Amino acid sequence: MRNVPNESEPSFAFHPYNILMILSIGSLSILFLALTVSFTYSRVQNGADMPAINLPPIFLVNTLILLGSSATMWWAKQCYLKDDTKNYQNALMYTIVLSVFFLIMQYFGWRALFAKNIFIDSDISASYLYLISILHFVHVIAGLPFLILFLRAAKRRMKEPVSVLVYFSDPEKRLKLRLLTLYWHFLDALWIYLVLFFLINSFI
């Protein structure tokens, strides 16, 4: 096993990728926080015009799916650090499958809302719910191409001992994987926050 440098290497502390990820996560956090604060303020102001929405159980199932994808992404990172070629590829594949499964199940989550006659234009509460869930949906889609590129690169380059060594020894590749893992954990934490937010609001 190779000697893996500490991931907090000074040379990467102010790397453009790090700065871009910090800005992206910061801006997304502010966006979703602003939307949830705005939703709360609107409910206080409008009262009966913004009835509470009970989330379909499938939204909770989707939380478990995202947790699973976050776990497999963490597994991929650990396999990369251990030069575990086979499991690294498997972990990336499982993350992609779970992420696509989440997107499919989220579609059925919206269908469950349709079945309750809750549409995006039904009331202000429904509009916020659809807007927030669609924004999260879009950001999961945005991360999928990067996962696919990582898996494709791994399958293309991990064919012989020398190419495997070069792949696993690339510090920039390690940095990109760390940032992608961070992004995936962020999406997971963000979804949990949003589901809890709407669950709490359903009792108010």
What pLDDT does residue 4 have?
46
Question: Is 2's pLDDT higher than 70?
Answer: no
- Kindly tell me if the per-residue pLDDT of 193 is higher than 90: yes
* 172 pLDDT tier (thresholds 50, 70, 90): confident
The CATH number for 136's domain is 1.20.120.80
pLDDT in tens, 59-117: 999 999 999 999 999 999 999 988 888 899 999 999 999 999 999 999 999 999 999 99
80 occurs within a structural domain: yes
**Rounded distance between C-alpha atoms, residue 144 and residue 103, angstroms:** 11
- 188 within domain boundaries: yes
- The confidence band for 45, taking pLDDT boundaries of 50, 70 and 90, is confident
Q: Is 14 among the domain residues?
A: no
pLDDT given for residue 122 in this prediction: 86
Residues 132 and 194 sit within 8 Å (Cβ to Cβ): yes
Q: What is the pLDDT of residue 9?
A: 44
Rg (CA), the chain: 20
Task: List Cβ neighbours of 95 (8 Å cut-off, separation of 6 or more).
Answer: 69, 72, 73, 76, 147, 184
d(CA 201, CA 173): 42
Nearest to 94 by CA among 67, 69, 66: 69
Residue 73 near residue 88, CB atoms below 8 Å: no
Kindly write down the DSSP assignment for every residue of 20-58, as one continuous string.
HHHHHHHHHHHHHHHHHHHHHHHHHHHGGGS---PPPTH
Higher pLDDT, 118 or 44: 118
Q: Is residue 6 part of a domain?
A: no
Cα atoms in the 13 Å half-sphere on the side-chain side of 117: 0
Tell me, what's the pLDDT at 12? Answer: 57
Cα separation, 137 vs 11, whole angstroms? 34
Question: Is 18 a domain residue?
Answer: no
Q: Which pLDDT belongs to residue 179?
A: 93
pLDDT tens, position by position, 117-168: 999 988 888 999 999 999 999 999 999 999 999 999 888 877 767 777 777 7
Query: 45 lies in which domain range?
Result: 23-202
In this structure, is residue 12 part of a structural domain? no
- Measured between alpha carbons, how far is 201 from 26 in angstroms, rounded to an integer? 25
pLDDT above 70 covers a percentage of the chain that reads 91
Would you say residue 4 lies in a domain? no
Longest dimension (CA), the chain: 67
For the chain, the domain total comes to: 1
